[in-house]
Chains A and B, each alone.
Chain A
Amino acid sequence: MTMICNFKEVCMRRILLTVLVIMVASTLVWAGGGQQTQPAAPATPAAAAEPVTLRVWGGVPEENGPGDLIRAFEAANPNIKVEYTRFVNDDQGNLRLDTALVAGGQVDVYFTYRNDNLVRRASSGNALALDSIATADGMNLAQAFGDLTYATVNGGVYAIPTNKGPQFFMVNKDMFDAAGIPLPTSWTAADYRRIANQLSSGTGQDRIYGVMYPNWPQLFLLGAQSALGPNGFLKADGTSNFTDPLFREFIELRRTMQYDDRSEVPYVEVVSQNLSDATEFLTEQVAMIYTGTWRVRSVRDLETFPHDFKTAFVPLFTMKPGQTRTYNEGSLGDWAMIARDTKVADAAWKFIRYWATEGSDPMVAKGGKIPAWTEYPAAKVTEVMLGPDADKLFDIESFERVVLNAPLFSYQPTDPVAVTIYNDMRNVVKEEVELLYVGRQNLDQTIQAIDRRVNTLARSAR
């Protein structure tokens, strides 16, 4: 009995071992082979007459615009067939796209929604430079789209924007009128604090607040970054710039308004109750929210949010005297890019050019996008975005002035070190400011802690 048992065991172990060795070996061979077949250089474009298939990855559901756009494009270019794959634009969806890009040979055109992802994808060799292709096609990219700092990596432009996404304050115009406050067209941080105070009233659960922010950690730095511009949280030598007084001032401004003035909805309430700025604003619990173009849809949704006041738009306030430009948390975006290893670069360019320029109507109508293309008529966007009840729901003049016609300068990072540590920097800021809010440390300690930790991050990223 024991003999057989032993024998069986030995036998089983051997077979298992053999299987294991074969499996590992074959995986290695397969992996190695896969790598070899990956093209090293951009492939030559296919001949124009041959029918080609274009594999496009985007984050917008097909029924919200891309479907119509693709049908129109295919009708105009019968020899190009477009296959659209939708990925959800979150951590997991981006991971899926990145995996497909790294594996190679699966994607021709893709969309990138965050600027740091754009820099990462372009600098790691997963995108095709577009400058020469555009020039050959008779297009001046800077003229057609404006500020392309974010699409420029190592001197080449790697993406074209298909959406203009500024951020701003959406305000309850009726509350402003009732308080006799004219709509600010340019204002300072002091004006902002005073007005938020004037618009606040009530106590306890019925308190009406002047302003509310989403819980994004980078908004603890909003005023400072909007005055300093891109990479403002790092000095030129790559060390932390958090000792700049602007950071201190703005962090203190938000704390004061939450805890002393009580004119801003406390951050701890926003997080711990998962408060939605749409609900608070459209039920008239707050007078101003910091938001972007996506909120227009909520204002128009009278079924979910019945309301009868007018929504107006106000740009960011300035933080220091003589500040002429306020950089924006939003930016040009929805970047169309071409995969480095595509075999159909010509068709891919034709498609992204069409999407970004004359083909963009369906994206405006169904996707709520504002084309970044400078020649796209503003009136058309107003009409489509604000809808038939625009007069009743919106202050159209301020929409066009603040959202459509203001040139958009973003403060999102462009420097490679700043891009690398941007996520961690935001986490550091979130943690330290939370400790400030709950009284575990004072302002000096908060600034010192952020400064020290960002320096550590920057050092490890260089």
Chain B
Amino acid sequence: MKPLTQRQRNQWIAGYLFLLPNLLGFFAFVAVPVLFSLYLAFSRWNLLSGAAGIRFVGLDNFITMASDPWFISSLVNNLVYAFFTVAFSIIIGLFMALLLNNKVFWKGALRTMYFVPYVVSLVAISAIWMAILSRFGPVSQFARFLGIENPPVWLMDPSFAMPAIIALGVWNHAGYCMLIYLAALQGVPKELYEAAEVDGGNARVKFFHVTLPMISPATFLLVITQIIASFRVFAPVQILTQGGPGRSTTVLVYYIYRTAYQNYRMGYASAMAWVMFVLIFLITMIQWRGQKKWVNY
């Protein structure tokens, strides 16, 4: 190793001094709270009792979780929500992108229309869905038109509440998936299609053997970001169903929020937040490992 000259050392010090303000902010507002919440995950703490009231309880919180019906329902619902929302958002997003990648009328207008739900506030979207799904709203009217005399109250029916929340999530995210796919489709070299045509490949072959592999990095990006996003679902549940009917739409963030800010059980809430983090982390790790098998760069 070459020893540092005085000048190099000064340069480095200056460099880090420039970084310091940012680092200070990062530590004060991110790192310290994160570490603190990790400590809280192993404690029992009612916020009102102050710092002196924190009691270390080891693994108690995690043991409680295993038999807490709210936590278990929230976890299961969250996995169901994540699976269907991500799958449908990506498939529908890809379909819309393929459509718009061809020559169609009003391409720009359609693209904007598909993308708008992604930038509209979830609160506004939820309010619109509430109207759409109400007893005398369009969905129920359509069901009546099809001959269903007493259509269910969609948001208050255990069989339909979760699908309704999922549909909202898909509507919200499909536009984003479409945009990413559109960009990826522009990047597929024309030569590959020409080569496939020369070899006698039809449209189906071209799609499955050229398009899909070539846009697999976009798919990979979308799967990871969409899974993370779907674990953070909160607003539609809070506004449309408040977790009901029964426990059919409680999700993790909603239950964590309720535990922390309504019941002030900070330790238990932190423990659940960490379980959620580890879960997302594991899913992401598995994806990273798996990508070698199907993602082509």
Q: Which A residues lie at the B interface, using CB under 8 A?
A: 3-4, 6-7, 11, 15, 19-20, 23-24, 27, 31, 35, 91-92, 95, 98-99, 101-102, 120-121, 124-126, 205, 266, 268-269, 271-274, 423-424, 427, 430-432, 434-435, 437-438, 440, 453, 460
Contact = CB atoms under 8 A, between A and B. Distances in A.
B153 A435 contact: no
A95 B47 CA distance: 9
A434 B130 contact: no
Nearest 8 interchain pairs by C-beta? A268-B156, A434-B245, A124-B48, A272-B155, A91-B261, A102-B50, A435-B246, A23-B27
A315 to B, nearest CB: 30
Interface stretch (B133-141, B191-199, B228-236): B133-141
Given A124-B48, A274-B130, A423 B262 contact: yes
A6 B1 CA distance: 9
A272 B247 CA distance: 16
Given A99-B47, A423-B258, A423-B263, 4 more contacts: A15-B16, A23-B24, A271-B155, A431-B247
Given A11-B12, A434-B246, A269 B135 contact: yes
A453 B14 CA distance: 61
Interface string B47-80: 1111111000000000010000110000000000
Nearest to A102: B50
B2 interface: yes
- The DSSP consensus for interface residues of chain A is helix
Contacts of A20: 27, 31
A424 B263 contact: yes
Contact of A272 (B50, B156, B158): B156
B145 to A, nearest CB: 16
Which one of A6, A11, A121, A453 has the greatest number of beta carbons of chain B within 10 Å? Answer: A11
Interface in B104-138: 130, 133-136
Contacts of A125: 49
Given A205-B136, A271-B244, A438 B157 contact: yes
Contacts of B243: 427, 431
Contacts, number: 113
Contacts of B258: 423, 427
A95 B261 contact: yes
Interface in B247-276: 247, 258, 261-264
A124 B46 contact: yes
Contacts of B50: 102, 124
6 contacts: A19-B27, A23-B23, A101-B48, A121-B48, A268-B153, A431-B243
B48 A431 contact: no
A273 B246 contact: no
A98 B47 contact: yes
A31 B33 CA distance: 13
B158 to A, nearest CB: 6
A90 to B, nearest CB: 9
Contact of A19 (B2, B23, B262): B23
B263 A271 contact: no
- Most chain A CB within 10 A, of B1, B50, B247, is at B50
Interface in B188-216: none
Contact of B130 (A31, A273, A437): A273
B2 A438 contact: no
Nearest to A269: B135
B252 to A, nearest CB: 16
Contact of A440 (B158, B262, B264): B158
Contacts of A460: 64
A3 to B, nearest CB: 6
B284 interface: no
A438 B247 CA distance: 13
A440 B35 CA distance: 43
Nearest to A421: B263
A401 B141 CA distance: 46
B48 A126 contact: yes
Contact of B51 (A24, A31, A269): A31
A31, A205, A430: which has the most chain B beta carbons within 10 Å? Answer: A430
Contacts of A266: 153
A437 B2 contact: no
Given A268-B156, A271-B155, A272-B155, A437 B47 contact: no
A98 B2 contact: no
A124 B52 CA distance: 11
Given A272-B155, A432-B246, A3 B134 contact: no
Contacts of A35: 51-52
Contacts of B64: 460
B32 interface: yes
A99 B50 CA distance: 8
B245 A435 contact: yes
Contacts of A435: 158, 245-246
B37 interface: no
Contacts of A102: 47-51
